[in-house]
Structures are given as structure tokens and as C-alpha cells.
Chain A
Amino acid sequence: MENKLNYCLILLYLITGFIPNLGAVDRIATHWLYLNLISVLSIVFFIYKSNSKEGLKISSNKPLIIFLIFFIWSILSLFYSINITESLISLIRLFSVILATYLIGLHLMEIKSLKLIFILFFFPILIIEILLPSFKFFQIISYVDYSFAYANDLKTFTPNKNITAAIITSHLGFIFFIKYYLKKFEWLLLILVFIASCVITFISARASIIGLVLSLSLVYIITFLKKKENLFFLRKVILVVGTGFFLSSLYLGSNNDASIQNRLTSINTDDASTNQRIRFYKHGIKHMINNPIIGIGIGNWKFKSIEYDSKDIQSYIVPYHLHNDFLQYGAETGFIGMFLYLLLFLILLLINIKRIDSNYFLSISLIISVTVFFVDSNLNFPHHRPIMMILLAFIIALTELNRVRNIEK
């Protein structure tokens, strides 16, 4: 049975990333705490207010089961962890995400239509996420010529420009499902896609640019093979994204270090950031090959990395993250841990591809989000940030809803 509180609690989950740091050195501590608080409220709600008898069948929710198995496998890493306290902290964070996934799933199951969620919550949030860096951009160019040096100023609502770009890009996929409900406002959605493409170019986040291009290519192929009648809108989106990239690059000029051409061609071995990532990956792979079954314990890479990188560490600047979540989980929990986390993304992708015939727009939206998240997980460390992990929780919960319901009748 639907209850207004379901909507309120979903909204509270969605705004996790906008909660200020409240004096903490890293806002993730505030966000994890906030996430737990919403989960406590949600559980209390389900115990006392909800009349639902349906519940969420965990046994048939494959992504959630895989996530749970990964969590249990990670718990086992406590037996060999270098630092148990740090592993415990990582485990309670992982638990918080899985719990949020379960509870969001319960909320969504009680809601008859996703229309309000997407139009009243996702859509305004997406607008805010796109407009905040856009306003900042105009503020910058009113003073100086824009260059890559100012890219980090566009981070606005997150602590890092790459996270801002990843959030915008992975939320951008939801434009398709919003379009399903707001057919008359297609032009507005395309304008948003255009602005978002420009913002991503100005931010110069390579992972997001690659993620967006890959995900759009993937959904184009799938649509072409399975739902040719929907190619028209998709082509428009691709055209708008391409135009956004092209015009923003044209504005920046080919000599500008923020241009797409310069940012993408800087993925070579002369680029300091790329070199550093390659060095981290080599350390991670080396560690996994030497320790294939058991790693160093969940959450412990930030200690082991010091041993590997000690000759290059300046001051106390430590490579806390491997910049590849799969490799990091592999180094921390062995090949099995890495495989389980990879499997989670694969299953999410497969379920949504299978459901294209029934729920095209929702499936396409989720495929884009999963792909962008996957690419980001390969180049950054979204597992560390609640703002990203709450998105994964929504992707899993929506995928399950996509699997069990015919939403686009």
C-alpha cells in the first residue's frame, strides 16, 4: 500500500550527496551517518506504518544476492586483514549500502508508479546538478578565459570535479525514462542533455566522457537490434551530445588544455595522472597475482599501497585508492571478491538488456547509468563515496522493479 512517507524517505535517500560535511575532514563520514539515519527511519516506518504484505523477495533479486555474497566474502577477510578496525569500518559502509538498496527496493515496491519519483525527484535533482556547474562556468568566464586550471572550480556540489561529472553523466541516462513521462517536454530534455555535455567537456573528466560515449554506443546497438522504432529519440540524444562536445571544444579552442581532444590525447604514458594510475594498477595486479585467494582485507589497500609506493610518496600523501574499484576489491579480498563485484555489474546489465522489450525507457536509462558507473569504477573510486553508492543502490532497486513489473504499458 502506497504511503506519502515512501516518497519522503526515497527523496531523503536521493539527496544524500547534497548533505554538507558538518565539520568533518571528509564529507563521506557525514554522508554515511546520514544514510544510516534514513535507513533507521525507513525500518521504523516499515515496522509501524507500512501495511505491505508483499515485501521484497531477496531470493529472486539476483543483483542483491550477489552484493550480499560479496559482503559475506568481505566479512571473511576480517580473518586475514592487516588492520581489522579499518576492515570493520569498510564493512559497516558496505552494509549501509546493501541495507539502503534493500530498503529503497521495499519503498519502490510499495509505490504504484515511478512517475512522481522521476518527475518530482530525479528530474529537479538532475537540473540542479547540471545548472550548478554551468552557473559557476559563466561566473569564471566573466573574469578570465576558461582553461583546465579552473576545471576543479566546477565541482560545486561534490568535493571533486570527477565525482560531479560522474554523477551528472550517470544521472543523465534517466533522461530517457523522464522522456517517457514528459513526452511534450522532449525539447527541454534535449537542452539539458546539451548543457550537460558542455559541462562534462568543461570539467574535462575523461572517465565521464568515455563512459557517456560507450554507454550511448551500447544502447544504440541494443536499440538497433531490439527496438528499431525507438532509434529516433536516441539519435537525437546522440546528436545533441555530439554537438555539445563539438561546440564546447570549439569554444575552448584546440590549444586549450581543457579541450576534449587534448584531454583524451593526454591518456598516454607522458601524462602524470595516467602514469600514476598505471603505477597503482601494476601494484594492484602484482598483489593479486601473488595473493589470488585472500587479499589484505577489505578497506586495507590504503595501507598496503604505502609499501608498494613508499619510494614515491612525498610528505604523507598516500595512494589511498587504486583508482579502479575492481582491482582494489581484488587486492583486498582476492580474485573471488573482484569477480563478485564484476558479476554485480554484469547481472545488472543483462537484466536490463533482457527487459528492453517490456520497459524500453527504464531499461535504457539503467543501462546507461550502469555503464557509466562501471567505467567510473575502472578509473576512479566510486565505492568510497556514498553519493555514488546510493546511486548504485537505486540502480539495483530499479533493476529489480524493472524485472518484476511491466511499467511502460
Chain B
Amino acid sequence: MKNKLFLSFLLVITIIVFALNFRVFNSYVDQYIILGDINNGTFNFLEQSENMEVDFPNFSVTSMNLKAVKAKYLIEQKKDDEALELLNSIKYDPLMMSESQKAQIYLEKKLLDSMFISATKSWKRLPLNQGHLIWYLKALNLFGQNKEIIKIYDITKNKKVNRKWLYFYFVTVFGNMDETNRDVIKKQARETLYQYKSLNDQELNTILYYILYGEDEYKNSIEFSKDGSKMFDSSEYLEAAKLYRRAKENFPLNPDYYYNQMASLFQASNFEKTINIFKTIPDSINPKNGKFEFLVAKAYLKLDDTINTCDYFKKSKELKFEPSIAYFNKLCGN
């Protein structure tokens, strides 16, 4: 009897626990879509967001305050006042996601001082979060604090930073480049280009090239290259070589411009110059895929320099450039 009473008591408690766990489960089902929205920048949960659970649990599995998450949907629906009221009711938000959203609303309402305070708070909590960074950069920009903007880069020292973060940072500093900060920004861009070159991120690289060589110069180099290709296609090789040289002068980091200039000179039977251009390629930008060495070997072949021909076919072969294998075996096999 005593046992049954104890078990009945346990049953009541367990049913309550079950009900609470069921509430958590339902929230986790919603969070499946919500977290997808946050990660992908979509709003698939928008229609159901009105009834979103924000009290039990009050945080997502990823430690986001669910009121701050709900506010995101309200902002999307242009319900700024409702969103702000919800954000102001948050007592604890360790990620400061709510401050980042407040900054967005304050900017909309032209309350710039409040925007600055919220953006600063959110960025100081998570300096490597690109979302928080964007609002902080906007705030600093609005108040013309260019020196502060450039200091932001210092937090990346000895840290691996998200490529989007770097992109947003450099886009902002590029817009603020002047005589007083040009050298510092260029130094930062060079460092980033060196540290993150393995990412091969087109978006990030482009903005870094703009900073290092100038937007016009970079764009011109693309134009010269396009024109050079047209000339090459119409067999005007010397003219093509000239255009590729100009592309290279405008943007010397692209190894393709060197290769195309070499190929044009080769087609124009200017073999010595083809070899000389190869010698000017900085080692840091040589892709070391054997393609350049193959062309040099062919140039030496035309010049009847057997020793250098075999030497370069061998180098190309070692860099796993397949066409060189047959040449090497045929010409240098013995």
C-alpha cells in the first residue's frame, strides 16, 4: 500500500515532467526551421512565428534568446515597435543578439545615439560575429570614427576569422580610405591576402585587390585581358601580348596574365622573350602546376636548346603536368 502511494506520487510528478518535456520537444521541432532560417538568412518560419514558444524553453539549443529570435521575424514584418518592446523585455541575453537587433531598429527610427550604444554592446560581446560587426561598422561610419574602424582589425591577430567578417571589414575600410590611413589599410590587406590565400575566396580577394591596386586598376586589368584574348583569337599575337602586359601592369598578382603574355609571344615566334617573361614571375604567384614550365620547355625546343628543353620538361613533369610526360619520354628519355 505504501509502495503504491509512493508510485502514484511518482506518476503524478512524471506526468508533469512529461508535459514539460513535450513543450521542450515542440520548441525543438520549431527550432529545426528557425535555426535553418538563421543560418541561411531565410524566413520560412515567418507565418508561424506569432505563436513561437519563447518562455519554456526561453533559449534555443544554440543559446540564443528565443525572444530575440522572435524579434527577428517581427522586424521582417516591419513591426518595429512590437519587436523593440519584446527586445526590451529580455533580461538576460549572453550573446547580445538583442542589442544587434535593437541597433537595426534604432537606425530605422533615426535614433542614432541609441543605435551606437546597442551596436557597440553587441560587437564588444561577440567581436568575431559578422552580424554584430556590420552594425558596429555602420555605427562608427555614421559618427565618422574612421580611426576606430581601422583598430577593429587588431582583434584578428592570432585568430582565425570568418571570411565574411573580413569581407565586411575591408568593404567598409575601402570606402573610408584616405591619405591618412591608406598605408595601414594596405598593410592589413596584404596580411589578409597572405594569411587567407588558401581560402581562394573570390569576393574577399576582389576587395583586397581593390585596396592594394585600386578599383580602377583592377577593373582595367580585366578589360585589357579580355581585349588581349580577342586579339589572340584573331591571331594578332603581338598585339595580344601587349594587352596582356598592360593587364599585368595594372594587376600584377594574376599569374594568368603572365601565362597569356608568354603564350602570345610564343605564337608570335618570339621564343627568347617568352622565356624572359617566365623569369620575371614572382615565385609567390607561380601556381606551380607545370603549365608555365611546359611552355618554357617548348620555347627552348624551338631554340634548339636541348639541355634546357629537357630540364623544363622534367620540371613540368615533376609538377604533374601531364602533356609534358610524353614530350619528356620522347625527347629526353635517353
Contacts and interface: CB of A to CB of B under 8 A. Distances in A.
A335 B181 CA distance: 52
Contacts of B29: 22-25, 29
B284 to A, nearest CB: 26
Given A303-B94, A315-B162, A47 B7 contact: yes
A400 B148 CA distance: 64
Given A29-B21, A85-B55, A318 B95 contact: yes
A99 B10 CA distance: 9
The secondary structure that dominates the B interface is helix
A25 B31 CA distance: 6
A86 B59 contact: yes
B58 A92 contact: no
A406 B135 CA distance: 69
Contacts, number: 130
Interface stretch (B124-132, B186-194, B245-253, B258-266): B124-132
Interface in B7-66: 7-8, 10-11, 13-15, 17-18, 20-22, 24-25, 27-29, 31-32, 35, 38, 55-59, 61-64
B17 A37 contact: no
A30 interface: yes
Contact of B63 (A30, A40, A303): A303
A33 B18 contact: yes
A229 interface: no
B130 A315 contact: yes
A interface, over-half SS: helix
Contacts of A46: 3, 7
Contacts of B18: 33, 36-37, 40
- Classify chain B: how many residues form its interface, as a range: 35 or more
Nearest to B164: A315
B61 A44 contact: no
A22 B159 CA distance: 39
Given A46-B3, A82-B92, A306-B125, 12 more contacts: A25-B31, A32-B21, A33-B22, A36-B17, A36-B21, A86-B58, A99-B14, A307-B94, A312-B159, A313-B129, A314-B162, A315-B128
6 residue pairs, one from A and one from B, having the closest CB atoms: A24-B28, A29-B28, A306-B94, A36-B18, A25-B31, A25-B32
25 contacts: A22-B29, A25-B28, A26-B61, A29-B21, A29-B27, A32-B25, A33-B21, A36-B17, A37-B18, A43-B7, A43-B14, A47-B7, A88-B56, A95-B13, A95-B17, A303-B92, A304-B94, A306-B63, A311-B155, A312-B159, A313-B128, A314-B128, A314-B160, A315-B128, A317-B62
Interface of A: 22-26, 29-30, 32-33, 36-37, 39-40, 43-44, 46-47, 55, 82-83, 85-86, 88-89, 92, 95-96, 99, 302-304, 306-307, 310-318, 320
